Amino acid sequence: MANIELIKKLSKAFGVSSFENEVIDILREELKGYVDSIEVDEMQNLIALKNFDSPKSKVMLNAHMDEVGLFVKNVTPSGFIKFVKVGGIDDRVLLGKRVIIGEKKVRGVIATKPIHLQKESEKDLVDKSWDMVIDIGAKTKEEALKLVQVGEGIAFDTEFEEIGDGFFVGKAFDDRLGCAIIAEVLKEEFDFPLIALFSSQEETGLRGVTTGAFKYTADISITIEGTVSSDFPDVSDFNKVSVIGDGPVITVKDASVITDHGLRKRLIETAEKFHIPYQYKRVAVGGTDSSKIQVTKEGVKVLVMAVPVRYIHSPVSLFYLDDYENTKRLLVEFLHSLEG
């Protein structure tokens, strides 16, 4: 069964790109006793090794720890926080959202000019992030700067909870779901060397994985992600990308990578052998760490598998527990198929 408490802790952790420390601490504690070594490199990648001295082919499991969010840009004379976005966030989802700022976990709310003061010509326009501010309840710039500093990260303040039957909402499911799956899988035993690369700064240009995969280069790499599920009534079937409840999403091609055809065939054969539902990523959008791993040194064979997630890159996302479980199960069975 899924470790819901682990998913909850990872979802709630503060981990905007370059501020992944809380996620690192959770994963380090979770993996104690299950891996042979754990290290954190200069890029804030967390790297766990298991059976690394085995002469067999090396397999990498990859997920990124960071989440989309905001950075403090400056402070207005009246104490409001101006910010910039970190990662791909739609401006339309920002207004009215609660946030947490920096090490002191200062709470605030994203705001703009109220509708009562807007001109008629402004009411149908989407407010841009650079016109918004964060209200932390400060009266002056000096008062605000006692609580927050320029350059600090800003994360969405979102509760993790179950809604309906087996559906969960929270933040940062891209890619804390991948982190949780790999942490659980590392508790299994395999007869080949495993490299778990929990990467940093994926949302700002796949930065952490570039150095992490160079230091520990595998023969095969599997990236586990949370991916777009746009299964709404007004979206055509071939544009839905993925569908909640249809199982793990297997990438053939996205905007950054073409996955290895032989490994993907083996993955699909494994799913069918164990009657695990699966689906293909229907639209070649987005990118993952796999694109950097694939071109490391002499090259690496890569796969990408994901849990479908609604409302990705927003303050509140949603996933279905069965999809998570089936993604984890397919990964375990595929890894066992590599043994021998």
- 33-43, pLDDT tens digit by residue? 999 999 999 99
Which domains are assigned to the chain? Answer: 4-67+171-337 (3.40.630.10), 69-156 (2.40.30.40)
Catalytic, out of 202, 203, 225, 325: 202
Q: How would you list the strands of the sheet with 317-320, edge to edge? A: 161-163, 167-170, 317-320
**What percent of the chain stands above pLDDT 70?**
94
The verdict on whether 159 is a catalytic residue reads no
Q: Write the CA distances from 80 to 70, 92, 116, 157, 227, integer angstroms.
A: 15, 20, 20, 18, 34
- 44-90, pLDDT tens digit by residue? 999 999 999 899 999 999 999 999 999 999 999 999 999 999 999 99
pLDDT bucket at 120, cuts 50 / 70 / 90: low
Mean pLDDT of 83-98: 94
Q: What are the DSSP calls for 78-110, one per residue?
A: TSPEEEEEES---GGGTTT-EEEETTTTEEEEE
- State yes or no: cis peptide before 175, omega within 30 of 0: yes
- 201-224, pLDDT tens digit by residue? 999 999 999 999 999 999 999 999
Distance CA 241, CA 235 (A): 10
Distance CA 159, CA 171 (A): 8
Spatial neighbors of 152 by CB under 8 A, at least 6 apart, are 71, 72, 101, 102, 103
User: Would you state the structure tokens that stand for residue 69, as one six-digit string?
Assistant: 């969010």
Measured at the alpha carbon of residue 62, what is the angle toward residues 310 and 185, in degrees to the nearest 5? 85
Is 253's pLDDT higher than 90? yes
- pLDDT given at position 241: 74
Mean pLDDT of 258-275: 97
**What percent of the chain stands above pLDDT 90?**
84
Is 240's pLDDT higher than 60? yes
Spatial neighbors of 37 by CB under 8 A, at least 6 apart, are 48, 49, 52
Mean pLDDT of 86-111: 95
pLDDT bucket at 116, cuts 50 / 70 / 90: very low
Of 311, 38, 47, 44, give the one whose Cα is nearest residue 153: 44
Lowest mean pLDDT among 23-32, 59-68, 139-148, 279-288: 279-288
Is 23's pLDDT higher than 90? yes
Of 225, 276, 270, give the one whose Cα is nearest residue 61: 225
